[in-house]
Amino acid sequence: MNIPNKITVSRIMLIPLFLIVMLVEFDWGTFTVGNVILPVTHFVGALIFILASATDWVDGYYARKYNLVTNLGKFLDPLADKLLVSAALITLVELQYVPAWIAIVIISREFAVTGLRLLLAGTGEVAAAKMPGKIKMWMQVVAISAYLLHDVPLNFLPFSVAYVTMWIAVIFTIYSGWDYFRKNRNVFVNSK
């Protein structure tokens, strides 16, 4: 297994650690930043989530720079992204920070696009990530991180960064999903 794929696997392996920190009731206390009381577990969970999210850029960078793009990497990288974001969204629903419908919309889009990619792979086509999908992913990362950190880094703003970026993520989730299906509708027309 090459280095980019090992980095991708490390992202997957950080997910259980993130879930344990966020969902097991550890009494690590809290600290105050401005007027926000932040549980230490949420701070640690946010660091794990941000680190795991950053590995998405790192593995892609190494794979492209050193020509280490593999079929395993093409499979694992989007899977790792989907698992990480799904785990974080479900955690935010459990903590009652995000309504369940948002998690359902985002996770449903991921399943649908994954299914489309499998259909395309069966015909020998590859549906590479487009800019709306990349914006969607990074808005999800920013929104989830902001929720985990209780908007602490940007709580001087007159609005919730977590709330606004989550709405942007939902809009790009819906748009990028529609765009994937619109551009690849031929797979349904030509299927037997």
What confidence tens digit (pLDDT) does each residue in 45-69 have? 999 999 999 999 999 898 889 998 8
Read off the pLDDT band of 128 (50, 70, 90). low
pLDDT at residue 75 in the model:
82
What confidence tens digit (pLDDT) does each residue in 134-156 have? 899 999 999 999 999 998 867 67
Which H helix or E strand runs over 63? helix 40-65
Most confident of 25-34, 38-47, 53-62: 38-47
Please state, in angstroms and rounded to a whole number, the distance separating the CA atoms of residues 35 and 47: 21
Residue 185 scores a pLDDT above 80: yes
Residue 131 scores a pLDDT above 70: yes
Give the start-to-end residue ranges of the domains of the chain: 3-189
- Cα–Cα–Cα angle for 74, 61, 139, nearest 5°? 80
CATH of domain 3-189: 1.20.120.1760
* Residue 110 near residue 180, CB atoms below 8 Å: no
Phi, psi of 102 (to 5 degrees): -65, -45
Q: DSSP class of residue 190?
A: S
* Residue 146 near residue 167, CB atoms below 8 Å: no
What confidence tens digit (pLDDT) does each residue in 71-84 have? 888 888 888 999 99
* Residue 28 near residue 135, CB atoms below 8 Å: no
